[in-house]
Chain A
Amino acid sequence: MDKTTLWIVIIGLGVGSFMLRFLFIGLVGSRAMPDWLLRHLRYTAVAVLPALVAPQVVWPAATDGAPDPARMSAAVVTLTVGLLTKNVLAAVLAGAATLYGMLYLVGLG
């Protein structure tokens, strides 16, 4: 990996993340923000993270883009356990167990 690019990313991301965190506590104070802006900001995490994950679930790079039953079922199990338990750690463990279980079974067949 190109080290210059890496440091640009690390420093840029560090400065940007601090500014996002400092923006209101440090600079805006108690002034109100427009409702429409807050309404969109509320959905950033639930929109961006699934959008990032979806193509990797459907077309994983590790299989050169061929849909993979092990990875797909691991994704479904992780999400389902997460929704049911609201427990991040339980969801991760269930997803990992499914992934390895399926990879093992597929390897046998």
Chain B
Amino acid sequence: MPFTTAKSAYVKGLIDGAPFVLIIIPFSMLFGLLAVETGLNVVEALVFSVVVIAGAAQFTALQLMQEQAPTLVVLASALAVNLRMAMYSASLTPYVGKAPFWQRALVAYTTVDQSYIVAIARFEKDPDMSVPHRVAYFLGAVTPVVPLWYGFTVVGALLGAQVPDSWALDFAIPIAFLAMIAPMFRTLAHVVAALVAVVVALLAAGVPYSLGLIIAGVAGMMAGARTEVWLNRRTAGDAHG
């Protein structure tokens, strides 16, 4: 469907992004809540969400700060979790790379899992969309997500002080991460990457400075990449045979 105006593209993006509200509200509340548990105040939790807007990386940083990991390891691990943003950025570039600089900066800042997934699906389906319409659509898709991410971080932080230990919130991050990972297993290579990462993480649990996480992550990525090459070769072989 061609868009007649940038406004209709924006509205369409808004509609397509709306279902993510259901995920964003509990996750941002959880972040605010756990941030307060870790010792941040409400303002610090909000600034964290505004500056970083990346759930998984924020949770990773909190977890490692709680374990008193060295600052460098906290940063490296959280940024490693966010490396997929570079992938998203690379894959959006052919579609919005010709937009004005300030618009590209805005798209970059608001690149999150939800906006990327919604936008890339639309851009691939609708190759004739103009660049301004693509940018409008993208910003429409983030509109229901980003302000709620800020707002419910504050709500969670305000609630945080009243939550008792019996709620077992120590396990909220593992559950959140496992739920986020599950839909990502698209190919055998993704599964192999995760399995290798888990095994290495358990074996390397005793490595100091929480470096086990980075070692396991790199091992998993290499395993995934290797498996992908192997799968491609096998498919190519089948095509010849």
Q: Which residues of A contact B (CB under 8 A)?
A: 1, 5-6, 8-14, 16-18, 20-26, 28-30, 33, 36, 38-62, 70-71, 74-75, 78-79, 81-83, 86-89, 91-92, 95-96, 99-100, 103
Contacts and interface: CB of A to CB of B under 8 A. Distances in A.
Interface stretch (B125-133, B140-148, B155-163, B174-182): B174-182
Given A13-B57, A41-B83, A61-B170, A33 B90 contact: yes
B205 A82 contact: no
A25 to B, nearest CB: 5
Contacts of B179: 78, 81-82, 88-89, 91-92, 95
A55 B201 contact: yes
Contacts of B93: 24-25, 28-30
Nearest to B78: A13
Interface of B: 22-23, 26, 38-40, 44, 47-48, 51-54, 56-58, 60-61, 63, 65, 67, 71, 74-75, 77-90, 92-94, 96-97, 101, 104-105, 107-109, 111, 168, 170-171, 173-185, 189-190, 193-194, 196-198, 200-202, 205, 212-213, 216-225, 228-229
A102 B38 CA distance: 25
B85 to A, nearest CB: 4
Given A46-B224, A75-B174, 9 more contacts: A6-B40, A17-B53, A29-B93, A38-B90, A46-B184, A47-B223, A48-B213, A60-B170, A71-B171
Given A50-B198, A74-B171, A20 B177 contact: no
A29 B193 CA distance: 29
A46 B222 CA distance: 12
Contact of A44 (B26, B44, B221): B221
A50 to B, nearest CB: 4
A6 B44 contact: yes
Instruction: Sort A-B residue pairs by CB-CB distance and give the 6 closest, nearest first.
Output: A82-B182, A47-B220, A43-B224, A14-B51, A91-B179, A51-B216
B115 to A, nearest CB: 11
Contacts of B219: 47
B168 to A, nearest CB: 6
Nearest to A103: B168
A82 B68 CA distance: 31
* Most A C-beta atoms less than 10 A away, residue of B22, B38, B183, B197: B197
24 contacts: A1-B40, A8-B75, A13-B61, A16-B75, A22-B104, A26-B101, A29-B93, A44-B80, A46-B181, A46-B197, A47-B217, A47-B221, A47-B223, A50-B198, A51-B217, A52-B60, A52-B77, A52-B81, A55-B201, A55-B212, A56-B173, A62-B171, A82-B181, A92-B179
B183 A39 contact: no
A86 B78 CA distance: 24
A8 B19 CA distance: 34
B221 A9 contact: no
A17 B84 contact: no
Contact of A25 (B40, B89, B171, B189): B89
A21 to B, nearest CB: 4
B160 to A, nearest CB: 14
* Most A C-beta atoms less than 10 A away, residue of B107, B168, B212: B168
